[in-house]
Amino acid sequence: MKPIRVLIVDDSAFVRKAITTMLQSEPDIEIVGLANNGKEAVEKIAELKPDIITLDVEMPIMNGLEALKIIMERFPTPVIMISSLTTEGATATIEAMSLGAVDFIPKQSTLTVQQTMKEELLAKIRAIAQSHSLKSRLSRTQQLLSSLSFRSSSKQAPTAKPAPKSEEQSLERLSLQERIARRRESLKSDSQDTAGTMSSSTAPAQKPLSEVRVSGRKRPVSNTMKIIVLGVSTGGPLALHQVIPKLPPEMPVGMLIIQHMPAHFTKSLADRLNSLSHVTVREAQDGDLLEPGLVLIAPGGFHMKIGKDHKTIHVTLEPASTLHRPSVDVTVESVVESFGGNALGVIMTGMGRDGCAGLKKLHDKGGYIIAQDEESCVVYGMPKAVVDDGIADEVLPLEDLADSIAACVGAHAIAAKSS
């Protein structure tokens, strides 16, 4: 197997050396080059064609954000930002991820924390490198992100052509992945047959095929879903920028988002999404009241729960034993305790299994579950756990998630605001 080719970009010789030390002893990683500013980085990317780039923000001659725009336009490549743990650093990092960076690592100073940084960086490089189609998706994403970067949404999410009863019964005996494949092939055949009966001048443009409902369950009836809870991790900010701005202002329910991030970063993420969205987006505070059209993002370093009164938000350090804080499982379990099965669960790109246990409880109570598909994930970990456990009702590409989320609560996704 070929090693993962990494280009390190930072104006600090100390940081370049630190990251080199973290990576150079790993047999599956090859450091192909170093650059000390964005201009040099762009030149070396054209020459070296790395698999992954680590990129600083503040650099002379050409900073990281300027370089990132050029990288995404000319050489779409997975980029991990190396960010300072400051409010300014967080704001710049969120902007970078809205431009196409897939993730970030906070800069650490002490040796003890540098070991944690090393483990996190290695895990993210390896997980991102496993996504073989990521470069082509980044190229498509750049097209979606031009001028704000979002494409208009259709009024309704695509639905599968109903299968004959005998086919539905036979699908029940197949694994979930087999059912996804069968339905995709069925849709492909149907679309080809339809196109074949039309002249090229009258045939409508075909929307790219997407994964469809795979559990056999119908979408929720309007007014049955009282809350939306969404979990996401690696690749989340870029993905959220393609979902939340498409939700309409008249969303009839509130939404809770759990994004694995440190403090400062979740506030910057919420502020940026709020500036782009029709709904109101903000970082959750203890005592907030969830209401229709309000999206609350769990603050970094804290869990977010909803009370049994269906509206009061609790921001807490407990439980302290979870791998992640905020934790998707903790929030989803509080939603189940409050709303039972009258909740829509969404799981998106990210490493690990956080959210699977909580969504299993929601599924068992009758809640409806949507998972992002493998093709559109930066890291297919959290959605994979849900799909493999057989609790996903729909498995959809990123571009269709807003349509489906809105449809499940009786609304329609709309075009994002123009920048």
Instruction: Tell me the pLDDT tens digit for each residue of 377-393.
Output: 999 999 999 999 999 99
Burial of 368 (0-12, 13-18, 19+ CB in 10 A): buried
Q: For this structure, is 329 an active site residue? A: no
Burial of 186 (0-12, 13-18, 19+ CB in 10 A): middle
Residues of the chain with CATH 3.40.50.2300: 4-144
Check residue 313 and report its DSSP letter: E
Q: Is residue 97 within 8 Å of 261, Cβ to Cβ?
A: no
In the set 98, 103, 131, 260, the catalytic residue is 260
The closest of 405, 407, 371, 4 to 215, measured between CA atoms, is 371
Give 116-135 pLDDT, tens digit per residue: 789 999 999 999 988 765 66
The whole-number average pLDDT for the span 64-89 is 90
The whole-number average pLDDT for the span 240-266 is 95
Give the list of residues 6+ apart from residue 146 with CB closer than 8 angstroms, or none: none
Structure-model confidence comparison of residues 406 and 146, the more confident one: 406
Dist CA 149 CA 399 (whole Å): 12
Dist CA 346 CA 367 (whole Å): 11
For residue 82, the surrounding DSSP H or E stretch is strand 79-83
Per-state percent for the chain, helix, strand, coil, to nearest 5: 40, 15, 45
The closest of 304, 269, 281 to 103, measured between CA atoms, is 269
Check residue 116 and report its DSSP letter: H
Give 202-242 pLDDT, tens digit per residue: 433 433 434 455 777 889 988 899 999 999 999 999 999 99
Dist CA 373 CA 213 (whole Å): 12
Give the list of residues 6+ apart from residue 164 with CB closer than 8 angstroms, or none: none
Question: Please, what is the average pLDDT of the chain?
Answer: 84
In which band, very low, low, confident or very high, does the pLDDT at 418 lie, cut at 50, 70 and 90? confident
Half-sphere exposure of residue 202: CA atoms within 13 angstroms, side-chain side: 5
| 4-144, CATH topology level | Rossmann fold (3.40.50)
In the set 10, 354, 373, 403, the catalytic residue is 354
For 24-33, 107-116, 141-150, which range has the lowest pLDDT when averaged over its residues? 141-150
Q: For this structure, is 271 an active site residue? A: no
Q: Do β-strands 79-83 and 103-106 pair in parallel, antiparallel, or remain unpaired? A: parallel
Type of residue numbered 273:
L
In the set 233, 277, 376, 404, the catalytic residue is 233
Dist CA 223 CA 352 (whole Å): 32
CATH class of segment(s) 165-188+209-408: alpha beta
Dist CA 283 CA 264 (whole Å): 10
Q: For this structure, is 389 an active site residue? A: no
Q: Is residue 71 within 8 Å of 77, Cβ to Cβ?
A: yes
Residues of the chain above pLDDT 70, percent: 79
Where residue 235 falls (left for φ over 0; alpha for ψ -120 to 50; beta otherwise) is left
Dist CA 4 CA 24 (whole Å): 11
pLDDT of residue 132: 60
pLDDT of residue 328: 98
pLDDT of residue 117: 86
Residues of the chain with CATH 3.40.50.180: 165-188+209-408
For 138-142, 145-149, 358-362, which range has the lowest pLDDT when averaged over its residues? 145-149
Burial of 4 (0-12, 13-18, 19+ CB in 10 A): buried
Dist CA 345 CA 370 (whole Å): 6
pLDDT of residue 1: 81
Q: Is residue 344 within 8 Å of 221, Cβ to Cβ?
A: no
In which band, very low, low, confident or very high, does the pLDDT at 138 lie, cut at 50, 70 and 90? low
In which band, very low, low, confident or very high, does the pLDDT at 176 lie, cut at 50, 70 and 90? very low
Half-sphere exposure of residue 97: CA atoms within 13 angstroms, side-chain side: 31
Dist CA 156 CA 159 (whole Å): 9
Q: Is residue 277 within 8 Å of 247, Cβ to Cβ?
A: yes
From residue 108, give the alpha-carbon distance in Å to each of 8, 96, 237: 16, 19, 21
